[in-house]
Amino acid sequence: MEFAACEDGAGSSESASLLIGENRATDLARMHTAEHLLTAVMRRLYDSPRNLEFHLGDKKTKCDYDVARPLGPDDGRAIEDAVNAEIARDHRVSVMHITRRDARHLDLWKVPPDAETIRVVSIGNVDATPCSGDHIAHTREIGRFMLRSFEMRSPTIVRIRFGLDNLDTP
Ligand SMILES: [Zn+2]
């Protein structure tokens, strides 16, 4: 059995693309790949273990993260800059299938216990996450990451909303 956990919106984008066309599917893949990078940045800057809640849209996306302290205005800039720095490095996004045993160093909280083969999506050396969603092939295809807003939902949970500005598409 193969299973890959990621986020609900991305998982449904394959069938959705038949209805909504390739451009929108690509936009969703860009947003979703940006979310992987955001999660990696949140882990690096704030020790956030994982994305707690996620809503994917082609215009705006929101993510919740556990953080050790309330975030202030400087943090918003730091997050945005860190994600855009990773996009600019143009990391390759790759998919591999590995055994559960080989994946035990990864965060498998969404993978069912009986899954034997796990689909892992890697972004350069920045992130490796079990995921079944659609992604773009290189991070520069994401365009520019724009943090729209962030708010503390509790003393330790921040909700981030972001969008993309595609500088690379004419
Ligand atoms: Zn993914």
CATH of the domain at 125: 3.30.980.10
- Paired tokens of 106: 């990864």
Is residue 71 a part of any domain in this protein? yes
Separation of 34 CA from ligand 1 center, angstroms?
Answer: 9
Q: Are 36 and 56 in contact (CB under 8 A)?
A: no
145 is a domain residue? yes
- How many structural domains does the chain have? 1
23 CB neighbour count, 10 Å cutoff? 11
Q: Examine residue 70 and state whether it is found in any structural domain, yes or no.
A: yes
- 75 alpha carbon – ligand 1 mean position (Å): 24
Provide the residue range defining the domain that includes 82.
2-165
The single-letter DSSP state of residue 142 is: G
Residue 96, domain member (yes or no): yes
The answer to whether 46 and 150 are in contact (CB under 8 A) is no
78 C-alpha to center of ligand 1: Å? 23
Residue 125 lies in a domain: yes
pLDDT tens by residue, 59-108: 678 899 999 999 998 999 999 999 999 999 999 999 999 999 898 888 88
With a CB cutoff of 8 Å and minimum separation 6, the contacts of 14 are: 25, 134
Write the pLDDT tens digit of every residue in 3-54: 444 444 444 444 444 555 678 888 889 999 999 999 999 999 999 987 777 7
